[in-house]
Amino acid sequence: MREITYRQALNEALAEEIERDPNVFLMGEEVAEYNGAYKVSQGLLDRFGAERIIDTPISENGFAGLGIGAAMVGLRPVVEFMTFSFSLVAFDQIVNNAPNMLTMSGGQFNIPITFRGPNGPAHQLGATHSHATECLFANVPGLKICTPATPRDAKGLLKTAVRDNNPVLVLECELFYSHKGMVDDEGVDLLIPLGEAEIKRAGSDVTIICYAQTVPMALAAAETLAGEKINAEVLDLRSIKPLDLPAILRSVAKTHRVVIAEQDRPFCGVGAEISYRIQKEIFDELDAPIMRVAQEDVPMPYNERLEQAVLPNAEKIVAAAKKIC
**Residue type (1 letter), 113:** I
Listing DSSP states for 67-122 in one string gives: HHHHHHTT-EEEEE-S-TTGGGGGHIIIIIITTTHHHHTTTS-----EEEEE-S--
Closest CA to 312 of 291, 296, 289, 298: 296
- For residue 25, what are the CA distances in angstroms to 108, 112, 282? 22, 12, 44
Question: Which distant-in-sequence residues (6+ apart) come within 8 Å of 79 by Cβ?
Answer: 27, 28, 63, 64, 67, 113, 114, 115, 116
Which of 12, 29, 60, 233 does the annotation list as catalytic?
Answer: 60
179 flagged as catalytic: no
Q: How far apart are CA 148 and CA 9, in angstroms?
A: 11
Which of 129, 174, 233, 262 does the annotation list as catalytic?
Answer: 129
Element housing 20 (H / E): helix 6-20
129 flagged as catalytic: yes
Give the Cβ contact number of residue 183 at 10 Å. 25
Closest CA to 93 of 82, 81, 75: 81
Listing DSSP states for 211-259 in one string gives: -TTHHHHHHHHHHHHHTTT--EEEEE--EEES--HHHHHHHHHHH--EE
Listing DSSP states for 147-189 in one string gives: ---SHHHHHHHHHHHHH-SS-EEEEE-GGGTT-EEEEPPTT--
With contact defined as beta carbons under 8 Å apart, do 274 and 209 qualify?
yes
Catalytically active residues are 60, 129
